[in-house]
Amino acid sequence: MKGILLPPTSTPSPITDIVRSRYSVRKFLPTPLSPSDIRGVLEDAQAAPSNCNTQPWTVHVVSGAARDALSKELLKADEEKRFSPDFSFSYADFGEGTYIDRAHNHAATVYQSVGISRSDQASRYAHARENLEFFGAPHAAFLFMPAFGDGVRAAGDIGMYAQNFLLSLTARGLGGIPQTMLGQYADTVREFLNVPKGLKLLFGISFGTADTTATVNGFHMGRAPLEQSVVLHDTPGVLNEQ
């Protein structure tokens, strides 16, 4: 599913270019970002909307020696199968049909882009573990949230914060990737960063400068056409506009 499936709008804008050019970077250059760029991204993310303005995000950013040491702890936790997710995740929850089909297509596209066959389980596992090395990114941000009720509204706020974060990176010519896999080792991350147990790890974002020569960065996952996601009520002419 190479390329963006959504057609361009009739009135393109710089904002449209930023939003639609964002993609998940899976190979980064090691060069650290400037403090001003990191602060700018964090300030942009901080402007995200929030239910009752609770701003429930607590964000830990690791770089340099801290980043390297945490990566080693994550790899060790993975080897020892010390999984400790704060939130459940299972492909089985997707059921049959649209959602699992999209997930399978995503996995197949990623592995195909790096030349790994479906039957090569060892290489698939090794590639997955690159998540725990932050895909070579010089920085990683870990997004924590308090346990309010069932957590859905706080998690929604975290998602909007993360989107601001990612789009701010794109606007600066930088890149990032949200990683659910980092959330599978919440206890390891909390202990390393000295985070209170009352704060739950939703996911992490590796970020930096994309390695544009890397094959894995040469594809962008597409999106379903609007007709599969949007239902319009007394809003004529939208879906037939090209």
| Mean pLDDT computed over 110-125 | 84
Query: Look-up: residue for tokens 């975290």?
Result: 158
Cβ atoms of 31 and 136 within 8 Å: the answer is: no
**Which residues fall within 8 angstroms of residue 129, CB to CB, at 6 or more apart?**
75, 78
Q: CB neighbours of 205 closer than 8 A, spacing ≥ 6? A: 140, 141, 143, 162, 165, 166, 176, 177, 178, 179
**Angle at 136 (CA atoms; ends 130, 138), nearest 5 degrees:** 135
Stretch 58-77: mean pLDDT: 98
Pair type for strands 199-210 and 175-179? antiparallel
pTM of the model: 0.91
* Per-residue model confidence as pLDDT tens digits over 187-230: 999 999 999 999 999 999 999 999 999 989 888 888 888 999 99
Over residues 70-90, the pLDDT tens digits come to 999 999 999 999 999 999 988
- Altogether, the residues listed in the chain come to a count of 242
Contact 175, 73 (CB under 8 A): no
